[in-house]
Structure formats: C-alpha cells, structure tokens
Amino acid sequence: MSTTIAGTGPPTTPSAVPPPVPPADLPPDLPPRPSEAELRAMGKSEARELSDALFERLAGLARESHAYSYVRGTIIELNMPLVRFIAGRFRHRHEDMDDILQVGTVGLIKAVDGYDPGRGVEFVTYAIPTIAGEIKRFFRDTSWPVRVPRRMQECYLRVACGSDRLEQELGRLPHPEEIAEALDLDVEEVVEGLIAGRVYRPNSLDALREQDSDESGSALLDRLGACDPGIELAEFRAAVRPLLGQLPRREQTVLELRFWEDRTQSEIAERIGVSQMHVSRLLSTTLARLREQLNDQDASGWGDARGDADADARSGPGAAPGPAADPDHDPA
C-alpha cells in the first residue's frame, strides 16, 4: 500500500525507500552505501570485493572523521550475513536467536576494528573465529546457571553438535559410544559433556513429568522425600533405655512425670512428697549422669542398646517408654 505526503512528490513504498544519503563532507570518491534490497541481492563474491575495496579506503582515513565512520558502518552492513551464518551454528541452544545475533554483531565490529589488510589475510578468515569466539564467550559467561570449567563447556558444545549430526543420520538418539567414535573422543569425555549439558539445562522442581510416564502430571518437588525425624532419635532412644533402667526408682518416677506426663516441678514435688527445689536438684543430677553415660560408650548399657536399636527404630518416636521408665517397675 502506497502513501502520499503533501509536498513530497510521488507515492513511496517500503521497498522504494532510497539508501541513506552520505554526509555532505564525505570525499566524492566514496561509493554509496547499498540499500537493504541491494544487500539482499548482492552475491558473496560481489560483497567480498566491495568489502576489500572499502577496507583499503578505510586504512587511509582518520578515525575521528565522518568518512571513517561512514565506511566502517558500510563494511559492517556488508558482512552481516556472515554473522547470521555463524549464529546459525548455535540454533540448538536455548538462548534467543536475537541475543546471539546481537553478540555476533559485537564480534563483527571487533573484527572490523582489528583487521589489517596489509597482513595478506582475507577478512572472512579473520572474522569467523572472532565472531564465533564472541558468541562462545557469551555462552560461557552468562548462560550457565552453575559455573563449570571451560574445558567441560567446550566438551559439551562439541558433543551437542556431534549428537545432533548423528541423530539426523541415524534417525534416533546416538549412544555415547557412537558419539565418541564420530568425534574421536573417549567415552568418558562424552559422558562428561552430557553431564555438563544437564547442568546447562537444569530441570525445575515445579516442572511436571512427561505425559507418557507412570507419574505424569506430578512435579518433582511433590515426589522428593523428607528425613524421618524419628531416625535421628532411634539410636538415642535405644541407648538411653537401659540407662534409665539402672536409675533408682524415685529418679525414674521424676523423669517420667517431667518428660512423659509433662508435669511441672511443683506438681512432681507434691506427688513424691519433697520440695520443688529438691525436684530441681534431682533432675539436674540425673540428667547430668545420663549425659555422661551416653558420652562414654564403654559404660554399661551400650552393648544392649546396640542390640535393641533396630527394634526401637521400628517402634517410632511415639512408642511407649517401656518398663524402664515405668514408675511401678523396680529394676532391682
């Protein structure tokens, strides 16, 4: 659809937009910057010849001049297809392609600024590793959620590219041995690369399982187990039970009333007929003696405790304290 603006002449369309006009202070011998349509229609050899001619012209211009900026920008636009070609190598990555193209453009700018035509090397030969290195540096520095050694990152990239190629050839996912043979690597190196790939793409704890699995629709967080708090107390319960049986009957009664029936010291004192202060001393003395015996594994009772560990673990933390804590049970 064409549009007409008053005072601007005939209608114009997006495809008929003229190329940018160079500033008036540019040398007259500079070639005009190609339009987008001309860049798309330009062949590789033609673009390379124009780029080489512009590099020769760029070498004789001052960096602070408008002519230098104009020629430099034209060279960058001429070689943008090279950036798109190199970025296509990384299309299997999860990063957005626009971000990869932007980083590749930064690499192209660095290549244009660092290229020296006097060395006798073609610009493409110099630009390809520069652009690819900038993209790889971007992946290494920003895209890994967990920092891994650079060697493993490069191994992952190599294994991922080789795996994609073999998957197209075989029509299925290749085995590590097949990848190792195709890339001339050890199987251990391929496995390291695959493990690094798992770090690069970690699964969310809230992610649902695949629909074809037995537990489809459930999140990993819902299937993670928790430590049973009774496990940590199993050995302690088994060790303290025979020690409780060695206490005098009055101390057993005080401990049961305090820790099993949750009575206060005043209630315990009224129950056994002593003062509250005396109950406090009994608790302190009895608990200190039990701690000392628990820390001393050579003390009597530890041998029987290990024998009863499995049975006590099965009873759980809510089980009854047993006859050793029974105030009516006389250990004698």
What is the Cα–Cα distance from 243 to 299, expressed in whole angstroms? 9
Here the tokens at position 315 are: 């009873």
pLDDT at residue 35 is higher than 80: no
Q: What average pLDDT score do residues 235-240 get?
A: 80
Residues 6 or more apart whose Cβ sits within 8 Å of residue 160: 92, 193, 197
Q: For 32, how many CA atoms within 13 A lie in the half-sphere containing its CB?
A: 9
What does pTM read for this prediction? 0.42
What is the Cα–Cα distance from 124 to 115, expressed in whole angstroms? 10
pLDDT score, position 213: 53
The larger pLDDT score, comparing residue 46 to residue 262, is at 262
Q: In terms of DSSP H, where are the helices of 42-122? A: 44-59, 66-78, 80-87, 97-114
Cα 318 to chain centroid, rounded: 41
pLDDT score, position 8: 42
Give strand pairing partners of 208.
219
Q: What average pLDDT score do residues 42-47 get?
A: 77
What tens digit of pLDDT does each residue of 259-309 get?
888 889 999 888 888 899 998 998 999 889 888 888 775 555 445 544 454
pLDDT score, position 64: 85
- By mean pLDDT, which of 45-54, 213-222, 236-245, 252-261 is the weakest? 213-222
The larger pLDDT score, comparing residue 94 to residue 62, is at 62
Residues 6 or more apart whose Cβ sits within 8 Å of residue 212: none
pLDDT score, position 317: 39
* Highest mean pLDDT: which range of 221-225, 234-238, 312-316, 325-329: 234-238
What tens digit of pLDDT does each residue of 122-159 get?
888 899 999 999 998 888 777 666 777 778 878 888 88
pLDDT score, position 101: 92
pLDDT at residue 214 is higher than 60: no
What is the Cα–Cα distance from 171 to 182, expressed in whole angstroms? 16
